[in-house]
Amino acid sequence: MKPRLLVTTLLVATLTACGGTSDNAQTTPPPSSDLSSVKKDDTLAALVPPAIAQTGKLRVGSNIQNPPNNFYKEDGKTPQGSEVDLINAIAAKIGLKAEHSDMAFSSLITSLETGRVDVTMAAMNDTAERQQKIDFVDYFTSGITIMVQKGNPQGVKGPDDLCGKGVAVNLGSSQETFAKEQSQKCLAAGKPEVQVSVTDSDTGNQNQLRTGRVAAILNDLPTAVYVAKTAGDGGFFEVVELAPINGGPYGIGVNKQNAKLSEAIKGALQALIDDGTYAKILGNWDIKQGAITKAAINGK
């Protein structure tokens, strides 16, 4: 994400207040993916730097509040999500056990550079700017997605349909930038501007959409899919069917001094893609739209 969005796991009291009923109950998240078939690959494990291999752990820095990528179970301490399942599978493939550390998104790269963690995995976009500091093993393609009320009553089928309509976005996000750019595009075409509502609250944005104060929310693909599937037991929202806008890769961050670790992770990811484990994980969390077919380091 550019920059990172904070996502609430639950729609809380504000939705109840405007709805007046208990129909805002969410579905239970799917259980973690079954990784029992994932076995250690000795060749890939041999690439892991000895200092990491000797610990038996892969220390993963994340920002665990972004369903379905990574968020806590009801106990408030056990990580779950598509990224959690995927890094657990990658770690197993290279003979390690993933150990998560929850930290501020803004501190992830620094923590990687200083050796506090071995890798980062937190829906972080692989960008040229970030590649100046760290390397990335790309594992998923995301982008901006349009979420609308269930049934799409305003007929939003793409960005051009947002002209003259209210759109909610998070403050400082890539979605805010895109919405303002789209608004200028609308004006240049002689159409009404996009009425951009900028907030720092996912719950507030969802409240605006549910009550019709805006026609759409712009969010990242995995987040939008998860909210549409779970909010109101899937009865509040839906995602417009179109390719992610301004799509780009999410990457597992690796210290540039650990090039062999990057190769090990890339090889493990490719093995999981080839044997179908990767597809099963993404399918379990309903985000197959962002699947890749070839693992890459820094997009290559």
The CATH number of the domain holding residue 130 is: 3.40.190.10
Residue 53 lies in a domain: yes
Whether residues 198 and 80 fall in one domain? no
Whether residues 125 and 252 fall in one domain? yes
Whether residues 55 and 138 fall in one domain? yes
Whether residues 68 and 198 fall in one domain? no
120-136 confidence digits (pLDDT tens)? 999 998 999 999 999 99
What would the two tokens of residue 235 be?
A: 């009865």
Residue 267 lies in a domain: yes
Q: Residue 261: CB partners within 8 Å, gap ≥ 6?
A: 47, 48, 49, 52, 118, 119, 254, 255
Whether residues 266 and 180 fall in one domain? no
Whether residues 127 and 167 fall in one domain? no
127-175 confidence digits (pLDDT tens)? 999 999 999 999 999 999 999 999 999 999 999 999 999 999 988 888 9
Whether residues 92 and 223 fall in one domain? no
What integer pLDDT is reported at residue 6 of this predicted model? 40
Among 245, 267, 287, the domain boundary falls at 245
Whether residues 256 and 195 fall in one domain? no
Choice among 7-11, 30-34, 44-48, 89-93 with the minimum mean pLDDT: 7-11
What would the two tokens of residue 192 be?
A: 């009404």
Q: Let me know: does 98 contact 56? Beta carbons within 8 Å.
A: no
Residue 78 lies in a domain: yes
Whether residues 173 and 291 fall in one domain? no
Whether residues 251 and 102 fall in one domain? yes
Which structural domain range is residue 278 located in?
Answer: 42-142+247-297
Q: Let me know: does 4 contact 127? Beta carbons within 8 Å.
A: no
Per the structure, the count of domains in the chain is 2
